[in-house]
Amino acid sequence: MVSYTAQPWPPIETDPPAIHEKAPTPGTKLQPHYTECFGCGDEQPGGLRMSTEVADSYVIKSTFDVTREHQGAPGLAHGGLLACAFDEALGTAVGQLLRKPAVTGKLETDFRQPVPVGSTLYIHVRVDGTSGRKVYASASGHLDAEDGPIAVKARALFVIVDMEHFTAHGDEDALEKLRDSAKKAAQPQRWDINP
Ligand SMILES: CCCCC/C=C\C/C=C\C/C=C\C/C=C\CCCC(=O)SCCNC(=O)CCNC(=O)[C@H](O)C(C)(C)COP(=O)(O)OP(=O)(O)OC[C@H]1O[C@@H](n2cnc3c(N)ncnc32)[C@H](O)[C@@H]1OP(=O)(O)O
ipTM score assigned to the predicted complex: 0.94
pLDDT for residue 6:
66
Half-sphere exposure of 192 (CA within 13 A, CB side): 18
DSSP 98: H
| Ligand 1 neighbour 118 (Cβ under 6 A) | no
**Ligand 1 probe mutation, 51, 99, 103, most atoms within 8 A of CB:** 103
Which residue's CA is the closest to the ligand 1 atom numbered 6? 99
d(CA 36, CA 22): 24
Residuewise pLDDT in 10s, the chain (195 residues):
666 656 899 999 999 999 999 999 999 999 999 999 999 999 999 999 999 999 999 999 999 999 999 999 999 999 999 999 999 999 999 999 999 999 999 999 999 999 999 999 999 999 999 999 999 999 999 999 999 999 999 999 999 999 999 999 999 999 998 888 888 776 554 555 443
Helix (H) / strand (E) containing 94: helix 79-98
For the chain, where are the alpha helices, taking DSSP H only? 79-98, 164-169, 172-184
Question: Measured from the CB, is residue 60 less than 6 Å from ligand 1?
Answer: no
The pLDDT assigned to 40 comes to 97
Select from 58, 61, 63 the least CA-distant residue to 23.
58
Determine if ligand 1 sits within 6 Å of the CB of residue 95: yes
Task: Please check whether residue 179 is in contact with residue 185, taking contact to mean a CB–CB distance below 8 angstroms.
Answer: no
Q: What angle do CA 79, 48, 112 make, to 5 degrees?
A: 25
Helix, strand or coil, per DSSP, at residue 17: coil
Q: How far is the CA of 123 from the centre of ligand 1 (A)?
A: 21
Residue nearest to atom 58 of ligand 1 (CA): 106
Half-sphere exposure of residue 144: CA atoms within 13 angstroms, side-chain side? 8
pLDDT of residue 23: 96
Q: Measured on CA atoms in the order 47, 48, 54, 58, is the torsion positive or negative?
A: negative
pLDDT for res 194: 42
Q: Which domains are delineated in the chain?
A: 29-172 (3.10.129.10)
Integer Rg of the chain from CA: 17
Residue 180's pLDDT is 87
pTM, 2 dp: 0.94
pLDDT of residue 193: 44
Q: CA–CA separation, 190 vs 41, rounded Å?
A: 11
**Among residues 97, 104, 100, which one has the least CA distance to residue 39?**
104
Report the distance separating Cα 144 and Cα 25, nearest Å: 25
In this structure, the residue with its CA closest to atom 1 of ligand 1 is 101
Cα–Cα dist 137/8, whole Å: 13
